[in-house]
Amino acid sequence: VGNIPAFCYGMFNLGLGYCVIAPSINFKGPLSLFSFMHFSSRSSEISVALLGLLLIGFGAGTCLVPVNSLLLSESAYKGITAGESAVTISSIINVGFTTGAALGPIIGGALVQKLDFQRATVFFGFCIIGCAIVVTTIAAITRYCRPVDDGSTIPETMGETMAESLLTSNNGSSRQREEYMEAESSAQDS
């Protein structure tokens, strides 16, 4: 599927999951189609909540998995090796998680108090879907404006994996580094 389409597909699933999980019966938007599923019986309420949670989990997993690969390919495109960019990439991801964990309950609690739970959940869903549209548009424009690579000038950094960069950097143990260097030299000899 590719990294960018998988990332955007995950964001759309995440937003749809939030929209499905708690649509308000008074909400006259496009999600009033789901309101009959919430209030018909207790078992259908639970099944719709589980469906929403499954969509949220699937969407979060689908959009979080390709992030490392996307950032590594962007750094390789800019000429930065995976070893040089690995720490920066993990720092960026950790800052995102930490900021979300710190600000999420504050902003979410304020929205739930101002709106009710259903409207706040649908609002978050629409925000995520809007972000997915913006990210898809920016990614398409960025990929379209890049010069076409015919494959003859593949940078060396594209072949270097995260494991190789960690083993050859200062983060790996000396024994692992020696084993890697021996395997590398024997591969070059043959």
Task: Domain count for the chain, please give it.
Answer: 2
Residue 145 and residue 52 share a domain:
yes
Cα–Cα distance between 14 and 19 in angstroms, integer?
Answer: 9
Instruction: Give the Cβ contact number of residue 22 at 10 Å.
Output: 22
The closest alpha carbon to 34, from 23, 42, 43, belongs to 23
- Locus of tokens 């990614």: 139
Residues 6+ away with beta carbon under 8 Å from 116: 24
Residue 104 and residue 37 share a domain:
yes
- Say how many Å lie between the first and final Cα of the chain, rounded: 36
Q: What is the pTM of this model?
A: 0.58
Residue 176 and residue 94 share a domain:
no
Residue 103 and residue 40 share a domain:
yes
Residue 180 and residue 131 share a domain:
no
Confidence of residue 156 (pLDDT cuts 50, 70, 90): very low
Residue 63 and residue 41 share a domain:
yes
Confidence of residue 44 (pLDDT cuts 50, 70, 90): low
Residues 6+ away with beta carbon under 8 Å from 175: none
Amino acid identity, position 33 = L
Please determine, for residue 57, whether its predicted confidence score (pLDDT) is greater than 70: yes
Residue 178 and residue 112 share a domain:
no
% of the chain at pLDDT higher than 90: 4
Residue 172 and residue 108 share a domain:
no
Residue 189 and residue 123 share a domain:
no
Residue 167 and residue 96 share a domain:
no
HSE toward the beta carbon, residue 55, CA cutoff 13 A = 21
Specify the higher pLDDT residue, 29 or 182: 182
Residue 98 and residue 119 share a domain:
yes
Residue 130 and residue 100 share a domain:
yes
Q: Which domain holds residue 70?
A: 3-154
